[in-house]
Structure 1
Amino acid sequence: MPVVACTSQQPGSPAQSQNQTETKGPVGPVPAGLDKFYSQPLSWGACAPYATTDDAKSLFRGDGLQCARMTVPLDYANPAGDTITIGVLRHKASDPGNRIGSLVVNPGGPGASGMTAAANLASQVTQTDLGKRFDLVGFDPRGVGASEPDVSCLTDQERDQERSQDLDLDGSPAGVAKQEAEAKDFASKCAQRTQHSTAMLANIGTRDVAKDMDVLRSVLGDQKLTYLGYSYGTRIGYTYAEAFPGNVRSMVLDGALDPNQDEVESLVAQGAGFGTAFNQFAAWCAAQRSCALGQNPADATKAFQDLVRPLIQNPILLADGRKLTFDDATLGAIQALYSQQLWQPLDSGLTELKRGIGTTLMALADQYNERDTSGHYSNTQDAFTAIRCVDDPRVTDKAKILDAENQYDKVAPFLDDGLPKGAALDACAFWPVPNTSEPHEPHVSGLPPVLVISTTNDPATPYQAGVNLAKDMNGALLTFEGTQHTVFLQGNSCVDNVGTQYLVDGTVPAAGKRCAGQ
């Protein structure tokens, strides 16, 4: 999601320095033993102390933003035990007289910051019906960003070192053994360096985030939840709907994960999405005056491979002492395929690569990894792995892994490194705690209609996943015809109008409703 300017002070919006403590809960049903959490006050104040990245430091200075910490049980099975805190950011409705409630936002990941996402969106929605009638609220899921404790696995230096090695390209028995040793070491470091150790890792999954979100609903004073989830945030949404169907007011799920797919199936489906997006990029690039991949889209895959495969043996040394590897070059391309706004930088980066320059592709890879210019990483990648390892059963069948790798190369051939495949187990195979959920069709009853938005050429969460989720949840489907990852509140007036009308008054679009790119 692109970074937008900080918000301006708006009528009805509190100045950032205005501290206030509010007690609005408990509201709605309270699960047994959780009264003190559902009724807790929130002490709102300046957001600057919550910033953990350069982006957040800039965004959190915006006028009209308030932040607070919410306390939740570390383990909901033992609410009298240890507690942790969740970082929450709010931008109040600019028309408080017509306020409906709170719109809770999650940008996905897993591991991405909901506080940063809400701060990003604040200036865009302030003078829209959404901004006028809803408090915009983002939270950092447990273990993420400003929430405490955060998941901590690798230091900044270790992350740089990991990226410099291209370990996953060696499919030999010795290479696979080395990859698995690294994966086992990563899992061990996560347990050693994360506060509360395995107890935190055992309770970091979507199952528990959904419970945190119901506590948040109550302490915000909302009888029912209004929710906007992007990408993995759709999983939080449908998990919440399963656990608390009677507490849902409305729910927009944009860029859906298919709830029935396991980790391997999801990976291959995502590969197909990136393969399609690459072909769309190649066609766009070929139509430009000059294109790093040439003027024939049919030759683009080979042209891309010819540019990036030499990096396997000869990475490019950068001015800061790091090296652009094959993995980082392809990761930079993947980052650019998330949005057409990054297609021009991708072409520029590939043009640079022809001259032995890796600056732009590395910058795109850094953007994906959330590495700032000072060399500091957010904990998104650590949290991503920790959450994924408890959200899905571990995969230990090497034949299945190898088959998935071969399928991935077929559906996303531009990413094929051309080397023999191995079948290394990932960190989840060595995770110190078991999974707490698994893929399944959501079982919901008493749920109001939800709105699922799915993009025809979404590279990361393919279109059919949204079709399937809308069917599984008996919800409405809005189709966006475009090539990007998620679309609501990103400038398409057709999508924004449909989604806003739904969130404000519950109106779902007619069956078969489609919006085209502008």
Structure 2
Amino acid sequence: MTLSGCVTAFLPPKSGAGPSVTPGTSDVDAALKPYYEQQLAWTSCDKGMECTTAKAPVNWDDPSAGDLELSLVRHRATGKAIGSLFVNPGGPGASGVDLVANSLDFAVDKTLQQNFDVIGFDPRGVARSTPVTCYDAKQMDSFLYDITPGERGSDAWIASNETSATEFGDACKAKTGAPLEYVDTQSAAKDLDMLRAAVGDNELYYLGYSYGTFLGATYAGLFPKNVGRLVLDGAIDPSTSNFDVVETQSKGFESALRAYLADCMTGKDCPFSGSVDDAMTRIGQMLAAVDANPIPASDGRLLGANTLLTAIIYPLYQADAWPYLSQMFDEVMRGGTSIAFQFADQYNGRDANGTYADNQTEAFNAINCLDYSYNDDPTLMRQQAAELEKAAPVIGKYMAYGDTFCAKWPYQSRTERTEIHAKGAAPILVVGTTNDPATPYVWAQNLAKQLDSGHLVTYKGEGHTGYNKGSTCVNDAVDRYLVDGTVPSTDPKCT
């Protein structure tokens, strides 16, 4: 029932880049020093890595209100370590522990593995770090896949979504308790600074993907003096409103869909014929058809427009997945749902047996509801829905009305979306992919301009994020920066 609602100037290594017995905590409030100075007990875990948990205050403004746990995994450097490199995969809601533990080579290349102790961490509220908990598997199925009754955008349809949102938020509050109010990104950035000190580093070395760029930029804004080297790949513009995000992502995914179709029509197995515009019209008709008459699946679920849109979006994140998107479209055209539900389930973290591997849906919603401001006035939402449909004629209307959900969340945002300049921070690398559907390129351009020390690295390509995706140019720029402190004097405009 949920709504879809995204050349060389050498700088010598800084003196604090490597491990330090007494990392800088001179500016830390006395009440918070016990967290910064805690001794982490690393133990051996799977695949020769080390695991630990750290304590953080639930409320950084009132550490007496209780603690929560943060989960970390570390892969020791295969060579002489410069220091630690914290990695975040995005989301919000994706597990950094899982990324490093299960997909180390995807997260970072061999050069970074040689030079850094690579640390994956689950931000507060995510996976193993005092997770946001709301629904069991059956309830989550209903929440994600049930068809909202009524005509899309009607009073009855909006009211039904409001009821669903209220019930979900109430369940999250009841099961998660006090930490639910404090899973915002500013709190997570404060956790990150504490973790930096706890592992023995005076400065933060960090690689953040997608939402991880917002976490990294927020960190730089709060702790500019503690910035060592930050890479923000697949950037989010921190000054964008919730509606701006949805509108830009709608255009981004529509652009990626057109790129897929242009490629598809050069092959013999494309399920579409005619022009790209003809195919876009056909996809629009397909979405409208299942919106009006959902297709039943063998397990009893119904394939409606929201789920089909999720299934379309999922393979657009990487161009390598485009052939599977063709298979899905072909199957749906014949009345089938198997591949569409496979894609939607993978996006939602649902296993084939109907269980959910993690809490990414709960964490995604909880964090976003605290990070943005929302307005669920029906008149405004209908106006914005029309704007989305104009911006992205095929998929825009199905990404509208998202404010309904977070406007009913138990807690509201305490921060404003604004530009982050991070005055006084060391150089920061921002990577943007020109046809990134989830975090469109304009956001990387904006963030690099906003940051006083921002440097843009452009990847001229398709898909989400640019590092470690096949471009030697991008990898070299990131590796030289993180390892040697080399910052491009101009954008290398990689291919």
The reply to whether TM is greater than 0.5 is yes
Question: Which residue does 1:110 correspond to in 2?
Answer: 92
Distance 1:124 1:192, change over 3 A: closer
Contact 1:444 1:473 in 2 (8 A): yes
Question: Which residue does 2:265 correspond to in 1?
Answer: 286
Contact 2:99 2:107 in 1 (8 A): no
Question: Which residue does 1:29 correspond to in 2?
Answer: 25
Contact 1:170 1:422 in 2 (8 A): no
Q: Which runs of 5+ in 2 are unaligned?
A: 1-18
Amino acid aligned to 2:405: A
Distance 1:170 1:114, change over 3 A: same
Question: Which residue does 1:40 correspond to in 2?
Answer: 38
Report the alpha carbon displacement of residue 293 of structure 1 after superposing the two structures with TM.
Answer: 2.3
State yes or no: 1:157 paired with 2:138: yes
Distance 1:135 1:289, change over 3 A: same
Render the CA deviation track for 1:432-463: whole Å, top value 9, x for unaligned: 22312221011422211100001111101111
Question: Which residue does 2:229 correspond to in 1?
Answer: 250
Separation in structure 1 between the aligned mates of residue 328 and residue 164 of structure 2, nearest angstrom: 30
2:116 to 126, 134, 141: 134
Report the alpha carbon displacement of residue 369 of structure 1 after superposing the two structures with TM.
Answer: 0.6
- Alignment identity in percent? 37
Report the alpha carbon displacement of residue 309 of structure 1 after superposing the two structures with TM.
Answer: 2.7
Separation in structure 2 between the aligned mates of residue 85 and residue 422 of structure 1, nearest angstrom: 36
Separation in structure 1 between the aligned mates of residue 107 and residue 68 of structure 2, nearest angstrom: 31
State yes or no: 1:89 paired with 2:69: no
Question: Which residue does 1:343 correspond to in 2?
Answer: 322
Question: Which residue does 2:466 correspond to in 1?
Answer: 487
Distance 1:369 1:126, change over 3 A: closer
Separation in structure 2 between the aligned mates of residue 290 and residue 356 of structure 1, nearest angstrom: 18
Amino acid aligned to 1:27: P
Separation in structure 2 between the aligned mates of residue 364 and residue 226 of structure 1, nearest angstrom: 34
Contact 1:104 1:138 in 2 (8 A): yes
Report the alpha carbon displacement of residue 295 of structure 1 after superposing the two structures with TM.
Answer: 4.3
Report the alpha carbon displacement of residue 127 of structure 1 after superposing the two structures with TM.
Answer: 7.2
Secondary structure at 1:29's aligned position in 2?
A: coil
Contact 2:90 2:210 in 1 (8 A): yes
Separation in structure 1 between the aligned mates of residue 388 and residue 147 of structure 2, nearest angstrom: 18
Report the alpha carbon displacement of residue 408 of structure 1 after superposing the two structures with TM.
Answer: 1.8
Distance 1:417 1:129, change over 3 A: closer
Secondary structure at 2:201's aligned position in 1?
A: coil
Distance 1:424 1:391, change over 3 A: closer
Question: Which residue does 1:119 correspond to in 2?
Answer: 101
State yes or no: 1:396 paired with 2:396: no
Separation in structure 1 between the aligned mates of residue 282 and residue 412 of structure 2, nearest angstrom: 43
Contact 1:394 1:429 in 2 (8 A): yes
Amino acid aligned to 1:260: S
2:436 to 458, 467, 481: 458
Separation in structure 2 between the aligned mates of residue 422 and residue 284 of structure 1, nearest angstrom: 28
Render the CA deviation track for 1:295-323: whole Å, top value 9, x for unaligned: 42121111112333322243333333333
Amino acid aligned to 1:83: D
State yes or no: 1:229 paired with 2:213: no
Report the alpha carbon displacement of residue 502 of structure 1 after superposing the two structures with TM.
Answer: 0.6
State yes or no: 1:78 paired with 2:62: yes
Separation in structure 2 between the aligned mates of residue 103 and residue 219 of structure 1, nearest angstrom: 13
Separation in structure 2 between the aligned mates of residue 43 and residue 256 of structure 1, nearest angstrom: 33
Distance 1:317 1:100, change over 3 A: same
Contact 2:250 2:395 in 1 (8 A): no
Separation in structure 2 between the aligned mates of residue 319 and residue 308 of structure 1, nearest angstrom: 20
Amino acid aligned to 1:118: V
Distance 1:25 1:159, change over 3 A: farther
1:323 to 299, 302, 309: 302
1:200 to 179, 193, 201: 179
State yes or no: 1:414 paired with 2:410: no
Secondary structure at 1:43's aligned position in 2?
A: coil
Q: Which runs of 5+ in 1 are unaligned?
A: 1-22, 48-60
Separation in structure 1 between the aligned mates of residue 402 and residue 83 of structure 2, nearest angstrom: 48
TM-score (norm 2): 0.91
Q: CA RMSD in A?
A: 2.1
Contact 2:127 2:359 in 1 (8 A): yes
Distance 1:209 1:318, change over 3 A: same
1:297-312 map, 5 Å: 297-312=276-291
2:365 to 371, 376, 385: 385
Separation in structure 1 between the aligned mates of residue 184 and residue 24 of structure 2, nearest angstrom: 24
Amino acid aligned to 1:232: Y
Report the alpha carbon displacement of residue 177 of structure 1 after superposing the two structures with TM.
Answer: 1.4
Could you tell which deviates more after superposition, 478-487 or 314-323?
314-323
Separation in structure 1 between the aligned mates of residue 135 and residue 258 of structure 2, nearest angstrom: 35
Distance 1:416 1:125, change over 3 A: closer
Contact 2:458 2:494 in 1 (8 A): yes
TM-score (norm 1): 0.87
